[in-house]
Structure 1
Amino acid sequence: MTDLGFPSVPPRTTREVGAGVVFEGNGHHFSAAPEVDIAAASAVANVPLSVILQVTKRCDFDCSFCSEVLQLPDPTLAQLDTMRVNLAGVGRVFLSGGEPLMRKDFHEIVEMYHRDFILAVPTNATHGLSHASRIAGKVAFANIGLEGPRATVRRVRGDYDKQMAGVRALMEHGIPLSLSAVVYRSTLSVLPFTVQIGDVLGAGKVKFILPLRKGNALNLAEHEFITQGEAETAFGHLKGLRAEHQWSPALRLTTWTPENEGHMIVVEPNGIARAWPVYDAPDLWEPLGNVLEEPITAIWERYRFKANHYAKYLGRSIHTVAQGF
């Protein structure tokens, strides 16, 4: 039976990525010494630190903030293997969706990728029971989308109880967890509960993200979009509560500033790589190339948000609190 008591903070583990950058295994993020110059480091790099690879667009939820409303066929295993080869050198790959665990062959994708990359899995965990035993020890962490307690999750995302059943399965097989929550004005009051849940689950980090006006989020009421100042105030409040209650997860807040524009490289199921979010681009996407046809080094060369990419993933352009208490 899973022990959901208050966890101790595990010993710190790191993995060298290169050029003074390390992956913090416990906090599930990249870091570099303060003296590392972001502009210089990104300028000499020939691959990204992190890439999001959509192994499917399908999902069993219909989240009110979801930007992935246009469907594409799933890539075949052969296509995913070609992408694996062309992604050589990337530090971390998110095997994403849609909901990636909806693929019955997801464990085969993990087996294909885990020797070459630090793997992370963004998931709602509803299919966790089907895959946990076969991906254990091969993924650095599963990032669970969870906006807070049951009533909030049901309103914003989907079936909380089905999610938590999957989370328990992942935990029972020793898969590290992080949490990710999209923040509305109407969910500000539950953010402390989200961090508390993360603490009880032993999550390495809890990250908060503001919604973007795309897909389902185009139907959100305007008052649900908070300002930069409101986000910073809420995060400051969480920092204080975290210190007071000795919650252990690292905290992250990403807001949509010029410094964060285009910082993500997303590879869709058809291999097309895009910078995201690009604020004045159609659907917030900027095409970069196709990973089925060329290596990531060629795509990185024409990518114009290198400094933003490095700054975000090294925690320089977002609000952060380190793991531990």
Structure 2
Amino acid sequence: MTDLGMLTVPPQRHRDLGGGVGYAFNGQHFDAPKDADVATIAATLQAPLSVIMQVTKFCDYDCSFCSETLRMPDPTLEQLDQIRQHLAGVARVFLSGGEPLMRKDFGEVVDIFTGHHIVAVPTNATHALDHARNIAGKIAYANVGFEGPRATFKRVRGDYDKTMAGVRALQEAGIPLALSAVVYRSTLSVLPYTVQIADVLGATKVKLILPLRKGNALNLADHEFITTEEAETTFARLKEQRAEMQWSPALRLTAWTPENEGHMIVIEPNGTARAWPVYDAPDLWENLGNVLEEPISEIWKRYRFKENHVSKYVGRSIHAVAQGV
């Protein structure tokens, strides 16, 4: 129990998911033996390791990199329960948005998926004060978008202090934290501060993501997009700084290489499942089907990025440094 009397996340440390893949709760990541063959794992799986379920498209921020600028009605609880039934076999579900905590019934949304999947929540944390107590002990972690110090955060994302207040509410409820930061050329200099903030907050990891040219990011200046080579150099330098400063959070960097194409499966509020990002497709989406109408196992059969999916989620196609190393 926490000081507030809230339930904490169950003490489970690792779950065997079959096919040589497991999930480490303490590091919030999938793992597989180093000698495991990605193609073999992909052929063994009957469903994705992880999907992103957009429970809303609405958001109270207007991030300069946001790809999800189109709006559509929220799915009902009944529709979400139908989707949940059709997601049988999926290990982890991100209850995403938009900003998912804007839903007044978000606690009920979490209840639909908890117990059937490992549940994680990407959020800007602005509505965490409304929901943290109700979702504590039910989600594996909250992944908070966070681009570093106040000035940078305000320019790239939104209200630093409002998000930080939400982060404190999540902490007080005993919900584990991760941070994610979208990387521009103009934010490279603040990345060490982002990791330092994550270390102070006790976050388990910092995920660095390069923007994609969709939605609001179409308005970004060309010079804000760094190359894969520049991203790798930046990550190597940050890795050295992490060792020097003895920062604890794990580091992750996802660059948009051929090995990462289409690796995510995103389910929109209307049930449409899409591979993302598919570089030559309109809006970077590739339609896969609809999970209100058929099980994810059927969609998985015709999904053409299985190996990219597995490779990314078990850490083969991203740059990574483990927590505490």
Q: Does 1:314 align with 2:314?
A: yes
Residues in 2 aligned to 1:149 and 1:223: alpha-carbon distance in whole angstroms? 21
- Give 2:300's aligned amino acid: W
Residues in 2 aligned to 1:266 and 1:300: alpha-carbon distance in whole angstroms? 12
Partner of 1:168: 168
- Give 1:28's aligned amino acid: Q
Partner of 2:87: 87
Partner of 1:76: 76
Partner of 2:236: 236
Residues in 1 aligned to 2:13 and 2:112: alpha-carbon distance in whole angstroms? 24
- Give 1:39's aligned amino acid: A
- Give 1:192's aligned amino acid: P
Secondary structure of the equivalent of 1:198?
helix
**Judging changes above 3 Å, is the alpha-carbon distance between structure 1 residues 157 and 227 closer, same or farther for their aligned structure 2 residues?**
same
- Give 2:70's aligned amino acid: L
| 1:127-171 Cα distance to aligned partner (Å, 9 max, x none) | 000000000000000000001011000000000000000000000
Runs in 1 of length 4+ with deviation above 4 angstroms? none
Residues in 2 aligned to 1:282 and 1:184: alpha-carbon distance in whole angstroms? 23
Residues in 2 aligned to 1:118 and 1:283: alpha-carbon distance in whole angstroms? 29
Structure 2 unaligned blocks of 5 or more: 4-10
Partner of 2:182: 182
**Judging changes above 3 Å, is the alpha-carbon distance between structure 1 residues 310 and 172 closer, same or farther for their aligned structure 2 residues?**
same
Q: Kindly state the Cα deviation for residue 12 of structure 1 after the two structures are TM-superposed.
A: 9.3
- Number of positions where the alignment pairs a residue of Structure 1 with one of Structure 2: 317
CA contact (8 A) 1:27 1:249 kept: no
Residues in 2 aligned to 1:89 and 1:234: alpha-carbon distance in whole angstroms? 37
Q: Does 1:111 align with 2:111?
A: yes
Partner of 1:198: 198
**Judging changes above 3 Å, is the alpha-carbon distance between structure 1 residues 322 and 122 closer, same or farther for their aligned structure 2 residues?**
same
CA contact (8 A) 1:57 1:71 kept: yes
Residues in 2 aligned to 1:130 and 1:252: alpha-carbon distance in whole angstroms? 30
Partner of 2:288: 288
Residues in 2 aligned to 1:134 and 1:285: alpha-carbon distance in whole angstroms? 34
- Give 2:98's aligned amino acid: G
Q: Kindly state the Cα deviation for residue 14 of structure 1 after the two structures are TM-superposed.
A: 1.6
Q: Does 1:32 align with 2:14?
A: no
- Give 2:274's aligned amino acid: R
Residues in 2 aligned to 1:24 and 1:324: alpha-carbon distance in whole angstroms? 14
| 1:258-284 Cα distance to aligned partner (Å, 9 max, x none) | 000000000000000000000000000
Residues in 1 aligned to 2:200 and 2:13: alpha-carbon distance in whole angstroms? 21
Residues in 1 aligned to 2:113 and 2:220: alpha-carbon distance in whole angstroms? 37
Q: Kindly state the Cα deviation for residue 238 of structure 1 after the two structures are TM-superposed.
A: 0.7
Secondary structure of the equivalent of 1:155?
helix
Secondary structure of the equivalent of 1:94?
strand
Partner of 2:303: 303
Partner of 2:7: none
Structure 1 unaligned blocks of 5 or more: 4-10
CA contact (8 A) 1:27 1:204 kept: yes
Partner of 1:46: 46
Q: Does 1:98 align with 2:89?
A: no
How much is the aligned-residue C-alpha RMSD, in angstroms?
A: 1.3
Residues in 2 aligned to 1:296 and 1:94: alpha-carbon distance in whole angstroms? 15
- Give 1:160's aligned amino acid: Y
Q: Kindly state the Cα deviation for residue 308 of structure 1 after the two structures are TM-superposed.
A: 0.1
Secondary structure of the equivalent of 1:126?
coil
Residues in 1 aligned to 2:26 and 2:160: alpha-carbon distance in whole angstroms? 25
Residues in 1 aligned to 2:239 and 2:12: alpha-carbon distance in whole angstroms? 21
Residues in 2 aligned to 1:242 and 1:252: alpha-carbon distance in whole angstroms? 12
Partner of 1:6: none
Secondary structure of the equivalent of 1:170?
helix
Q: Does 1:159 align with 2:162?
A: no
- Give 2:120's aligned amino acid: A
CA contact (8 A) 2:19 2:44 kept: no
Secondary structure of the equivalent of 2:65?
coil
Q: Kindly state the Cα deviation for residue 13 of structure 1 after the two structures are TM-superposed.
A: 2.2
Partner of 1:210: 210
CA contact (8 A) 2:22 2:32 kept: yes
Residues in 2 aligned to 1:45 and 1:111: alpha-carbon distance in whole angstroms? 26
Residues in 2 aligned to 1:21 and 1:103: alpha-carbon distance in whole angstroms? 33
